[in-house]
C-alpha cells in the first residue's frame, strides 16, 4: 500500500484556537526563559551549525566580490536568485540574494543585502524579473559615517533611472514607526508599468532589536494583512544591511503569524532552522531570537498581555524621523556583516541530498510550517484565528 499524499496528511493535522495557541506558547516561553534564559540559549546554540557547509561559490568568485556588501555574507548557491544574463556575460546573473520559505512555498520571500551603489540596477532588475510587488526594508540608510544601505529609490516624489528601469516615487505615507512609499516601475521599451509598495522601517538598530516589541509586531501585522490581501504574483523582497539578522527576524515573525492565524502551533526553532538552510545566519543573535518569541507572544495576547519570555530586551531605538534625514539607530558599529566570517572561510562539503518525500519528512515541523499555509481549505475553517 502506497504512502498517503501530502494533502491528505495535512487535512488530518489538528488546528487550535488562538487562546489555545497562546496558552501553549506562553508555557513554552516560560520554560525557555527559566534559569537566565537557559532554554533560549540552548536552542540558539544548536542552530549554530545549520547550513554552514552549504557552498557559496558564486558569491566567492572574483568577478562577483565587489557586488557583496560584506565579504562573508554570501548567498547559498542552491537557492540564490539568478538574474537574466546580460550581453552573454555569465557573471551578470549574480546578486547577493536568496529565495527563502515563509508561508506557502520555498520562494515566498527573497532576502537580500541592502543595495550597493554598483548593484542598484541589479536590485531593480531582480524586482522586475521576479514580479515583486512588495519590498520591506528594515534598516536605516546610515549609522554615523557607515552606509548600511545605499539610497536606491527617490525618498520624495520624483524619478531615477537604474539601468533600463525607471523608478518613480508616487506617494509617501507615514505610519507609526515606518513609511509606506508607492513606487512606479517602467522598463525601457516595455509598454506596461508596475506598482511596488515599499515599506521602510528604519528605527531597527543594526544587530539589535527595536526598543518596543509592539512596534515590530504591529508593523509585521500590517505587512501580513497587505500580503494576504493582494495576488501573490512574485516573492516579497525583505532586506536590511546584510540581509540576514533583521531580515531573518522579520520573516520568521511574519511566517509564524501566518501559521498561528490558521490555527497551527508555532515552532520558532524549526522556522529559523529552515531559513538558515536557505540563507546564512538568519536571525543572527540570541537577542533577536528571544525577541521573535516576545513579539509573537504579545501579538497572540492581543497586544495587552505582559511578555513572559524572560526579561524585556531593550534595543537602541529612537524617535521617528523622516527618512531623508538618514538618522542612524544602531547598537553596534560592527553590523550584521561579521556574524559568520570565521565559519565561512572554508566550505567544501556539498549540500545534502534533498529529503525523501516520506510521511516523516512531510510532518517535519519545518515542512509543516509552509505546507499547511498555501490553501486554507486544508485547515479546519472553524479554527481560523486571524
Q: Would you please indicate which residues are annotated as catalytic (active-site) residues?
A: 240
DSSP 341: T
Contact 137, 199 (CB under 8 A): yes
Query: All 3 cell numbers of residue 139?
Result: 534598516
Q: Which is it for strands 109-112 and 134-137: parallel, antiparallel or unpaired?
A: unpaired
Q: Mark residue 303 as left, alpha or beta (left: phi above 0; alpha: psi -120 to 50; beta: remaining).
A: left
Look at the block and give the residue holding cell 537577542. 287
Alpha-carbon gap, residue 71 to 342, rounded angstroms: 11
**Are the C-beta atoms of 248 and 238 separated by less than 8 Å?**
no
Helix pair 245-261, 286-300: axis angle to 10 deg = 30
For residues 301 and 291, the answer to whether their CB atoms sit within 8 Å is no
Of the candidates 298, 316, 315, 299, the one whose C-alpha atom is nearest the C-alpha of residue 307 is 298
Amino acid at each position: 500500500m502506497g504512502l498517503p499524499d501530502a494533502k491528505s496528511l495535512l487535512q488530518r493535522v489538528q488546528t487550535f484556537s488562538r487562546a489555545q495557541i497562546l496558552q501553549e506558547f506562553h508555557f513554552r516561553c516560560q520554560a525557555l526563559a527559566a534559569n537566565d534564559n537557559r532554554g533560549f540559549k540552548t536552542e540558539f546554540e544548536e542552530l549554530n551549525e545549520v547550513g554552514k557547509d552549504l557552498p557559496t561559490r558564486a558569491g566567492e568568485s572574483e568577478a562577483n566580490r565587489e557586488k557583496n556588501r560584506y565579504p562573508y555574507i554570501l548567498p547559498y548557491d542552491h537557492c540564490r536568485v539568478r538574474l537574466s544574463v546580460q550581453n552573454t556575460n555569465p557573471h551578470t546573473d549574480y546578486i547577493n540574494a536568496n529565495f527563502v520559505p515563509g508561508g506557502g512555498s520555498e520562494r515566498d520571500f527573497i532576502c537580500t543585502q541592502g543595495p550597493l551603489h554598483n548593484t542598484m540596477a541589479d536590485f531593480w532588475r531582480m524586482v522586475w524579473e521576479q514580479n515583486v510587488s512588495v519590498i520591506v526594508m528594515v534598516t536605516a540608510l546610515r549609522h554615523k559615517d557607515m552606509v548600511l544601505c545605499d539610497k536606491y529609490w527617490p525618498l520624495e516624489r520624483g524619478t531615477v533611472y537604474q539601468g533600463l528601469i525607471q523608478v518613480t516615487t508616487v506617494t509617501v505615507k507615514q505610519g507609526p514607526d515606518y513609511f509606506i512609499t508607492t513606487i512606479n516601475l517602467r522598463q525601457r521599451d516595455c509598454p506596461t508599468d508596475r506598482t511596488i509598495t515599499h515599506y521602510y522601517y528604519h528605527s531597527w538598530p543594526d544587530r539589535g532589536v527595536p526598543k518596543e516589541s509592539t512596534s515590530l509586531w504591529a508593523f509585521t501585522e500590517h505587512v501580513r494583512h497587505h500580503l494576504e490581501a493582494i495576488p501573490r504574483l512574485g516573492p516579497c523582497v525583505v532586506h536590511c544591511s546584510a540581509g540576514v539578522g533583521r531580515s531573518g527576524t522579520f520573516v520568521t515573525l511574519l511566517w509564524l503569524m501566518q501559521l498561528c492565524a490558521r490555527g497551527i502551533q508555532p515552532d520558532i526553532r524549526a522556522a529559523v532552522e529552515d531559513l538558515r538552510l536557505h540563507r546564512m545566519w538568519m536571525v543572527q543573535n540570541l537577542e533577536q531570537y528571544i525577541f521573535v518569541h516576545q513579539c509573537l507572544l504579545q501579538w497572540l495576547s492581543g497586544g495587552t498581555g505582559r511578555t513572559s519570555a524572560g526579561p524585556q530586551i531593550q534595543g537602541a531605538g529612537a524617535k521617528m524621523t523622516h527618512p531623508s534625514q538618514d538618522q542612524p539607530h544602531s547598537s553596534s558599529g560592527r553590523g550584521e556583516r561579521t556574524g559568520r566570517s570565521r565559519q565561512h572561510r572554508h566550505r567544501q562539503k556539498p549540500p545534502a541530498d534533498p529529503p525523501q518525500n516520506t510521511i516523516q519528512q512531510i510532518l517535519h515541523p519545518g515542512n509543516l510550517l509552509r505546507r499547511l499555509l498555501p490553501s486554507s481549505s486544508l485547515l479546519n475553517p472553524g479554527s481560523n484565528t486571524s
